[in-house]
């Protein structure tokens, strides 16, 4: 980076330091070495930020700015996508299945731990294919120590599949590296054993991946 670029970063670093940013946070924000920041701001008066209110640590301005950006872009994403019409929904579901769905001949299968993904898939499957509800099956991948009855009840609501159409949960060996509160209800797999439906979906996947919208 040229001299001018460093001067710009130096001025930004001094402004942030005056706002009580730490050397580490400034370095992370600007993508420069902490030693450089230290040199640039050595003569800037620094008053440690009173980041505790009522005994609780307040977020750093850098973190608050990140949260504001996330919120702004989430709203922009919602506005940009809008409400999907049938064709857009069909294509979106096809793309989702192309990435996450079962490719083995004979049965439609989709797995995910995010209930929003499962709800999206089930809604898509029912919307565009003639489904015999009695043939839908769900199986849950669940770590030992988690409540299987609660998990079945949870995924039954999400999928719209009765609990008596659930298979026995697959119990995984406990892993200390897994946060149980993150996947409290495990991962659900929705399966529909129908070769014709699977072939129809794979036909859509093939059409999507060979469409003119994909750069050659």
pLDDT in tens, 89-121: 999 999 999 999 999 999 999 999 899 999 999
| Four-CA torsion 109, 113, 116, 117, nearest 10 degrees | -30
The partner residues of 112 in beta bridges, in order of sequence, read: 188
Distances (CA, A) of 17 to 3, 23, 161: 21, 8, 56
Q: How remote is the C-alpha of 77 from its chain's centroid?
A: 14
Q: Are 42 and 48 in contact (CB under 8 A)?
A: no
In sign, the C-alpha dihedral spanning 170, 171, 175, 178 is positive
Q: Give the whole-angstrom CA distance, residue 184 versus residue 191.
A: 21
pLDDT in tens, 155-188: 999 999 999 999 999 887 765 555 545 578 899 9
Q: How remote is the C-alpha of 107 from its chain's centroid?
A: 26
Q: Which residue has the higher pLDDT, 47 or 205?
A: 205
Q: Give the whole-angstrom CA distance, residue 158 versus residue 152.
A: 10
Q: Does pTM surpass 0.85?
A: no
pLDDT in tens, 45-81: 877 765 544 545 566 677 778 888 888 999 999 999 9
- Retrieve residue 169's tokens: 């949960």
**pLDDT for position 1:** 43
């Amino acid at each position: 980076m040229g001299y001018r670029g460093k001067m710009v970063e130096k001025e930004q670093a001094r402004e942030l330091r005056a706002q009580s940013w730490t050397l580490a946070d400034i370095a992370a924000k600007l993508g420069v070495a902490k030693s450089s920041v230290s040199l640039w701001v050595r003569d800037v008066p620094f008053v440690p930020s009173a980041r505790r209110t009522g005994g609780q640590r307040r977020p750093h301005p850098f973190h608050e700015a990140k949260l504001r950006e996330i919120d702004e872009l989430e709203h922009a994403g919602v506005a940009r996508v809008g409400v999907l019409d049938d064709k857009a929904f069909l294509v979106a579901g096809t793309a989702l299945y192309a990435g996450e769905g079962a490719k083995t001949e004979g049965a439609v299968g989709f797995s995910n731990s995010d209930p929003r993904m499962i709800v999206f898939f089930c809604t898509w499957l029912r919307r565009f294919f003639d489904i015999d509800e009695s043939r839908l099956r769900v199986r849950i991948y669940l770590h030992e120590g988690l409540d299987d009855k609660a998990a079945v009840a949870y995924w039954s609501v999400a999928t719209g599949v009765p609990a008596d159409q659930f298979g026995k949960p697959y119990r995984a060996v406990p892993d200390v590296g897994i946060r149980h509160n993150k996947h409290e209800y495990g991962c659900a797999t929705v399966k529909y054993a129908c070769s014709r439906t699977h072939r129809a979906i794979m036909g859509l996947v093939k059409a999507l991946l060979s469409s003119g919208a994909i750069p050659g």
